[in-house]
Amino acid sequence: MAENNEVLRFDNVTKRFGETIALDSLSMTLERGEVVGLLGPNGAGKTTALRILLGLIKPTEGQATVYGFDTWLQPVQVHQRLAYVPSEFNVWPNLTGGQILDLLGALYGGYDPDIREQYIERFNFDPNKKGRTYSKGNRQKIALIAALMTRADLLVMDEPTAGLDPLLEQEFQTVLREAKSRGQTILLSSHVLSEVEVACDRVAILRNGRLVEYGTLQDLRHLSARTVEATYRGDPPDFADVTGVEDVVFENGHVRLQVTGSTDPLIKAMAKSEITGIQVREPTLEELFHSYYGEEPVDG
């Protein structure tokens, strides 16, 4: 059992499916109480990483651990500490939502019925219908309630809000904050970048099975380009050979550019012109995401 605050660890984990490398030497850790977002386009390796973490598939190389337990060799010990929300939940068609919640809660090892009722109410869920009659959104509510009512130490969520309406997505954000305040650790794979931006302390970005960035949003922003917009009178400022400046666009006394690293050379270059206004904006997560994937579309 890990004695420190480390909740999960991917240690040089590689997964191959035949010739295809789905995950390539992934190494990352999560600390207790952290909310970490896992981002990446389709085929980036997010689901493979989660399935390895859940002990559903075996790493070809390396090791994944949760609370010090090997996810492949000791899955039961791992599963006693985590709850999982899949991106799509195929329920048993002949059981009601309530029966499914009871079953999953009991098989987890127990749950507080009052908490279950609270979530049923908050997610506006009707537990008396047969599984086959639920819409995708309602099936997703079952998965969410089942995971949340266990109060598991670690919540692993794979696109948990898929199918939920905007009001419930907002409720989900509140629920995430509450879980974090209780000290629960959350690994959230999502395509909803705004959701990750609001909820997550750290973000891991995968591309072609490799971890290309892992850090706090602040770290990522610091490493990434900020957007600078300025208005000027007279001759336009000269940004040629200014360190860190790129993508400069002049238009009718207005300039827009990207700057990476220190802004000092940029400010010195601007000082040579008559600047009437300036605005520096840190990149949104979406802009960060695009900067890592270039022209690749954000799927979702």
Which residues make up the interface to another protein (CB under 8 A)?
A: 51, 54-58, 75-77, 79-80, 82-84, 86, 88-96, 98-99, 102-104, 106-109, 128-130, 132-133, 143
Residue nearer to another protein on the CB measure, 5 or 133: 133
Per the CB < 8 A criterion, the answer to whether 238 and 272 are in contact is: yes
The residue among 4 and 135 lying less far from another protein, judged by its C-beta, is 135
Q: How far is the CB of 148 from another protein (least distance, A)?
A: 14
CA distances from 218 to 101, 221, 263, 291 (A): 39, 5, 16, 15
Q: Which two tokens stand for residue 270?
A: 């601007």
Spatial neighbors of 29 by CB under 8 A, at least 6 apart, are 6, 7, 8, 9, 10
**Shortest spacing between CB 51 and another protein, in angstroms:** 7
In the complex with another protein, the residue whose CB is nearer, 154 or 288, is: 154
Tell me how far, at minimum, the Cβ of 102 lies from another protein, in Å: 4
Closest distance to another protein from the beta carbon of 177 (Å): 24
C-alpha–C-alpha distance, residues 43 and 9, integer Å: 21
Give the 3-state secondary structure of residue 138: helix
Question: Cβ closer to another protein: 77 or 216?
Answer: 77
Query: For another protein, which is the closer residue by CB, 52 or 176?
Result: 52
Q: Residue 7 in contact with residue 175, Cβ under 8 Å?
A: no
Cα(50)–Cα(39) distance, rounded to whole angstroms? 12
Nearest approach, Cβ of 208 to another protein (angstroms)? 20
